[in-house]
Amino acid sequence: MSGTGIGARVLRKEDFRFITGKGQYTDDVNRYGQAHAVFLRSPHAHAEIRSIKLDAARAMPGVVDIFTGDDLAADKIGGLICGWMIHSKDGSPMKAGAHPALAQGKVRYVGDHVAVVIAETQAQARDAIEKIEVDYKVLSPVVAMADAVKKGAPVIHDVASDNTVYNWSLGDEAGTQAAFAKAAHVTKLDIVNNRLVPNPMEPRAAVGDYDSGTGGFTLYTTSQNPHVARLVLSAFIGIAPEHKLRVIAPDVGGGFGSKIFIYAEETVCVWAAKKVGRPVKWVADRTEAFLSDAHGRDHVTHAEMALDASGKILGLRVKTQANLGAYLSTFSSCVPTYLYAPLLSGQYDIPAIYVEVDGIYTNTAPVDAYRGAGRPEATFVIERMVEVAARELKQDPAAFRRKNFVRSFPHQTPVIMCYDAGDYDAAMTKALEMSDYKNIGARKAASAKKGLLRGIGFSAYIEACGIAPSAAVGSLGAGVGLWESAEVRVNPVGTVEILTGSHSHGQGHETTFAQLVSERLGIPIDNVAIVHGDTDKVQMGMGTYGSRSGAVGMSAISKALDKIEAKAKKVAGFVLEASPDDIEFKDGKFSVRGTDKEIDFGSVALQAYIAHKFNGQELEPGLKESAFWDPTNFTFPAGVHICELEIDPATGVTRIDRWTAVDDFGNVINPMIVEGQVHGGIAQGVGQALLEGAVYDASGQLVTASYMDYSMPRAGDLPSYDVGMTQTACPSNPLGIKGCGEAGAIAAPPAVMNAITDAIGHEGIAMPATPLAVWRAVQKTAPRAAAE
């Protein structure tokens, strides 16, 4: 091979266009005659709309049209949906309040969509927005979950009179009760998982277009899964049948989950294109992104762990309140339930687990999947719990974890998941070596001499990726299957186009996927093009999230390549006058076993298309195959991250000194891209732990609605990472891949907080551990601990 196959550090093919400014993002799409949409957003967290007066706005220069919720209703355009049905423990279905794309009678969070102005220019639309008069009857907002569930709290949706979407549970309550009854020690902890704003570099955008000649709609949009967007816009919202609706997600500048969902703005743009007879474009500004992108996390949890006298975990009991915001976003319901609770066993052999989760409405932006989606929350709970348990039992945190590790596979946890492969001890051993754990005492002493508090924190995380077996998720309430599709088109000259239902918005699929093809077909990587993000090109797909594109998307490609190889062998057999069974394929050449007769891949492709050497009735001409891959299981990436940091007790400033990451992602296609994913994931995890936090005030105004108040991690906040890997191949897909996109964001927060609490000597601090929070916490540090 030429060094571009599996395992090679190939530079990203797509980066040339990105770094030379030739990327084509949604905002780069300009259609002839397009008008511009600007949304009027609610300034109130909770209010009835008594009336909306549009006359003055309609009279403004350049206004093409103005629409409200009434116009959508008149056209029978449905509301936004939540695609995963969760049932409460009493069997009742979740209480999903209506979510119109433009408000109907009521607004429920600051930033909620009230009306849309479409004008010749964006500036004219903004001018006109200011002239719309809305008569609001302001209602009391409920911002905190604790207030939302109080008796007599204002009701956000009539269908949920107690502002509760569901009371869900998982696991064996009685068995867990029994485990606690025989416990020698119980560790208890209250845990807050802070609310985050996703902040992809590219804000959301949409261009809707309607062709009155064909009756077809086209939507250009910042989506991680354009086919799912088409399905929802077509089948549920009712824009147009699928064959009359093309959705294109061109280059997309980051998503982190926030661009999975189907939002009001793209719905309105594509619908309005037909109403006004012109293309309609909308581009969010950063404030809109803060207000109306689905937020992430926001859990309040009480957890208890039962242990025997030796420190063996007997049981885990978790009660979580999950803030779902004002409406149920597309996949919001499954994030704090099936993407969360099944991961609470962590890397540990825990005989009994019981979890209760209450999904709560509040007058805040909707909350949905954000990098990790449920798994960071679960990892934070279990990794804080084991760290605190080890401290309470005066055991070394690494030894405590080793004592409780799962050691044989497959391992069935008490909470759905069956771990298929892993070697948790190997990752721990490697991480301890890389981090020079044995000399931590000396490093703590050296810091103390400088007046600084040094702490070390572990995070032995596990996640479930490669989502997911369709029948399994269907049985848990998913509205879709979670397979992936691929089509391999071999051109007559032997170049190859791969059509995939995965979507790349920073992950580097154009390189990684091409490496697989280059390796398998023995052709130069530059002869491979990856086509994605257009429902007219790729027939169907489920998109990119949950670290699934390698494990699921590439498995579909692999399956299609198997078919290509089988067909090409038949063609080669005819050309070389041998039985296909005697044809070997290696390094891009087909040869007859035991002879020197051979033909290269490109020549076979040509022969397949000219079809001179075989009977077209016996073997179809052409070389094109497709495949759908439905996973047999989740995949289970796991690893150990160790954070070592210093705190300046005088200011509360935390400086991360060392970061060791040892991850088991199974087989790796491009180590450079995988390391990049780890680096970025850790940065986001450190952001959550030290810096980021969405804050609403008591009236429901988002205080952190700009970078003046919302702290994003910057290079100077981060250390130089020490990244290592262990490998156990994943038995659940043909490539042995587990997935790497979210690991860093999942692993990092508990590693940081375990290190901070180690440094300050107590557990009384929550994320984000800002200098203020750390300084306050240090005041409560016992003098002995500070002097250590």
Task: Find the shortest distance in angstroms from Cβ 293 to other proteins.
Answer: 18
Rounded least distance, CB 780 to other proteins, Å: 14
* Beta carbon nearer to other proteins, 252 or 453: 453
Contacts of residue 112, defined as CB under 8 A and 6 or more positions apart, other chains included, come to 41, 42, 103, 326
Residue with smaller CB distance to other proteins, 734 or 771: 771
**Which residue, 331, 309, 115, is CA-closest to 225?**
331
d(Cα 345, Cα 406) in Å, to the nearest integer? 10
Backbone angles phi, psi at 237, to 5 degrees: -90, -25
Beta strand 245-248 with 484-490 is: unpaired
CB atoms within 10 A of CB 153: 17
- DSSP strand pairing (496-500 vs 528-531): parallel
Residue whose CB is less far from other proteins, 610 or 703: 703
Q: Is 710 a binder of other proteins (CB under 8 A)?
A: yes
**Shorter beta-carbon distance to other proteins: residue 184 or 772:** 772
Q: How far is the CB of 643 from other proteins (least distance, A)?
A: 18
Nearest distance in Å: CB 47, other proteins: 23
Please pick, from the candidates 2, 439, 632, 651, the single residue that binds other proteins as defined by CB under 8 A: 651
Site string for other proteins, 120-159 (x = CB under 8 A): ---x--x---------------------------------
* Span interacting with other proteins, options 141-149, 340-348, 571-579, 644-652, rule CB under 8 A: 644-652
Residue 775 interacts with other proteins (CB under 8 A): yes or no: yes
Which one among 59, 418, 445, 650 touches other proteins, defined by CB under 8 A?
A: 650
How many C-beta atoms surround the C-beta of residue 133 within 10 A? Answer: 11
Residue 410, preceding peptide bond in cis (omega within 30° of 0): yes
From candidates 74, 201, 708, 787, binder to other proteins by CB under 8 A: 708
Interface with other proteins (CB under 8 A), residue from 418, 695, 698, 782: 695
Classify burial at 443, counting beta carbons within 10 Å of its beta carbon; exposed 0-12, middle 13-18, buried 19 or more: middle
What letter would DSSP give residue 195?
Answer: E
Residue 707 in contact with other proteins, rule: CB under 8 A: yes
Contacts 24+ apart (CB under 8 A), 527-531: 527/494, 527/495, 527/496, 528/495, 528/496, 528/497, 528/498, 529/495, 529/496, 529/497, 529/498, 530/497, 530/498, 530/500, 530/504, 531/497, 531/498, 531/499, 531/500
Taking the complex as a whole, how short is the minimal distance between the CB of residue 710 and other proteins, in angstroms? 6
Letter string b/e over residues 576-596, b meaning 16 or more CB atoms within 10 A of that residue's CB? bebebebbebeebebbbeeee
Smallest distance, other proteins to C-beta of residue 770, A: 6
Q: Which residue among 399, 709, 780, 782 contacts other proteins (CB under 8 A)?
A: 709
Binding pattern to other proteins, positions 717-756, x when CB under 8 A? ----------------------------------------
Nearer to other proteins, 536 or 709 (CB): 709
> CA 331 to CA 83: how far, in whole Å?
6
Q: Using CA atoms, how far apart are residues 527 and 514, in angstroms rounded to an integer?
A: 9
- Strand locations in 284-399 (E): 296-307, 313-325, 352-361
Minimal distance in Å, beta carbon 450 to other proteins? Answer: 14
Task: Tell me how far, at minimum, the Cβ of 685 lies from other proteins, in Å.
Answer: 16
Inter-residue contact 249 to 226 (CB < 8 Å): yes
- Assess 776 for contact with other proteins (CB under 8 A): yes
Q: With contacts defined by CB under 8 A, name the span among 222-230, 262-270, 378-386, 645-653 that binds other proteins.
A: 645-653
Count of beta carbons in the 10 Å neighbourhood of residue 602 = 18
Q: Binder to other proteins among 626, 699, 701, 711 (CB under 8 A)?
A: 711
For the CB of residue 217, give the shortest distance to other proteins in the complex, in Å: 32
Cis amide linkage into residue 713, ω under 30° from 0: no
- Closest approach of Cβ 709 to other proteins, in Å? 5
Least distance in angstroms from the C-beta of 434 to other proteins: 29
**At closest approach, how far in Å is the CB of 651 from other proteins?**
6
Partnered with residue 661 across adjacent β-strands are: 641, 723
Given a contact cutoff of 8 angstroms between Cβ atoms, the answer to whether 755 and 689 are in contact is no
* Selection from 737, 229, 227 nearest residue 485 by Cα: 227
Indicate whether 287 belongs to the interface with other proteins (CB under 8 A): yes
Q: Among 691, 747, 756, 777, indicate the residue that binds other proteins (CB under 8 A).
A: 691
Q: Which is nearer to other proteins, 64 or 774 (CB)?
A: 774
Cα–Cα distance for residue pair 107/69, rounded to 1 Å: 11
**Shortest spacing between CB 199 and other proteins, in angstroms:** 12
The DSSP output letter for 10 is: P
Shortest spacing between CB 59 and other proteins, in angstroms: 18
Distance (Å, whole) CA 733 – CA 701: 47
Among 147, 235, 771, 786, binds other proteins (CB under 8 A): 771
Phi, psi values for residue 271, rounded to 5°: -65, -45
Cβ closest to other proteins, residue 498 vs residue 690: 690
Interface residue with other proteins among 418, 445, 772, 782 (CB under 8 A) is 772
Which CB, 117 or 389, lies closer to other proteins?
A: 117
- Provide DSSP, 216-235: EEEEEE--S-HHHHHHIIII
59 or 695: whose CB is closer to other proteins? 695
Angle at the Cα of 225 from the Cα atoms of 220 and 230, rounded to 5 degrees: 60
At its nearest, how many Å lie between other proteins and the CB of residue 652? 8
Record the tokens describing residue 424, joined without a space.
């948790």
Closest distance to other proteins from the beta carbon of 639 (Å): 28
User: Within positions 236 to 265, which residues make up the interface with other proteins, using CB under 8 A?
Assistant: none
Choose the binding region for other proteins from 14-22, 366-374, 564-572, 649-657 (rule: CB under 8 A).
649-657
Count of residues that bind other proteins according to CB under 8 A: 22
Q: Toward other proteins, which CB reaches closer, 736 or 768?
A: 768
Residues 184-223, one symbol each (x = binds other proteins by CB under 8 A, - = not), give: ----------------------------------------
Beta bridge partners of 412: 418
Distance CA 181, CA 356 (A): 19
Q: Which ranges in 577-611 belong to alpha helices (H)?
A: 601-610
Chain residues binding other proteins by CB under 8 A are 123, 126, 287, 650-652, 690-691, 695, 703-704, 707-712, 770-772, 775-776
